[in-house]
Amino acid sequence: MGAASLGVALTVLPSQPERDVVAPVAAVPALTPQPPSLIAIMSADGAIANFVRTNLTAVNAAAAIPQFAGTLQDTWLNAFYGDKQRLRQFIEHTAEASGLPVDFFLRLLQQESGLDHRAVSRAGAQGVAQFMPATAAERGLVDPFDPFEAIPKAAEFLREQRAAFGSLGLAAAAYNAGPQRVRNWLAGRSSLPQETRAYVAKITGRSADDWRQGGDMIAIAEPVARNGW
């Protein structure tokens, strides 16, 4: 092979970069409008957010009025605390846990307030168990108008007085007149008020003198009437 032929033979053409072969892309159809999604509805500017925002503003504005706020609170509390079935079950549970006869405890609370958590006496006693504010503070009762707080405190007090005086009847007398007045009566230093005597008889069916003489050897005379429960 001659030099000219060799030169031609050795001539190398510059390489061309390889190119990827891409298949034609099909045309994308135009998007059709869709119903609003849940995310869109619940977004900061969505329909639900706007509804809540509008109504919350109205409620907040109304709640700023003391009478309105008080009405809302009273309505809820009355519905919750005024549930007779719930209250009765709680009284029974508390009595049993405190070692008190259920009938005795229920009758005492009925006598005190008619089981009305809103009751306020002329003397200033408050709530279903009719604690005076000073006595409530002494016994750690934060809210006398909360029956689920006041009822256990009443049972606690009665249990203590029963242990101190030896009978349910004298515990009831102490609940009505105060422990010191009962101590004075037992010691012969003073008489027991007629109001307290009537209170003991109405709750237990026995006189205060019966309880003084017989202690817990005697029992309350009649079961509690269940009318209205």
CATH number at residue 187: 1.10.530.10
Domain range for 188: 83-217
Q: Is residue 28 part of a domain?
A: no
Interior/surface letters 159-178, b for 16+ CB within 10 angstroms, e for the rest = bebbeebbbbbbbbbbbbbe
- The three-class DSSP label of residue 100 is coil
Q: Mind listing the pLDDT tens digit for each residue in 56-99?
A: 555 555 555 555 545 655 665 666 676 778 898 999 999 999 99
Task: Report the alpha-carbon distance of residue 218 to residue 205 in Å, rounded.
Answer: 11
For the chain, how many structural domains are there in total? 2
Does this model's pTM top 0.85? My answer is no
Number of Cβ within 10 Å of residue 229's Cβ equals 11
Whether residue 160 sits in one domain with residue 110: yes
Whether residue 213 sits in one domain with residue 103: yes
Q: Is residue 132 part of a domain?
A: yes
Q: Is residue 30 part of a domain?
A: no
Whether residue 126 sits in one domain with residue 186: yes
Whether residue 95 sits in one domain with residue 205: yes
Is residue 222 a contact partner of residue 205, using CB atoms and an 8 Å limit? yes
Whether residue 119 sits in one domain with residue 105: yes
How sure is the predictor about 30, in pLDDT bands with cuts at 50, 70 and 90?
A: very low
pLDDT at residue 217 in the model: 76
Whether residue 88 sits in one domain with residue 77: no
Last residue of a domain, one of 42, 64, 81: 81
The dihedral built from the CA positions of residue 104, 105, 108 and 114, taken in this order, carries a sign that is: negative
Residue in 172, 151, 143 with CA at minimum distance from that of residue 95 = 151
**Residue 190 pLDDT > 80, yes or no?**
yes
Whether residue 114 sits in one domain with residue 57: no
Q: Any idea how long the chain is?
A: 229
Whether residue 149 sits in one domain with residue 121: yes
Distances in Å between the alpha carbon of 194 and those of 120, 174, 191? 22, 13, 9
Q: Is residue 15 part of a domain?
A: no
Q: Which two tokens stand for residue 180?
A: 């010191």
pLDDT at residue 110 in the model: 95
Task: Report the alpha-carbon distance of residue 53 to residue 60 in Å, rounded.
Answer: 10
**Residue 16 pLDDT > 70, yes or no?**
no
Average pLDDT of 179-196? 98
Identity of the amino acid at 98: S
Average pLDDT, the chain: 78
Q: Is residue 201 part of a domain?
A: yes
Last residue of a domain, one of 81, 103, 127: 81
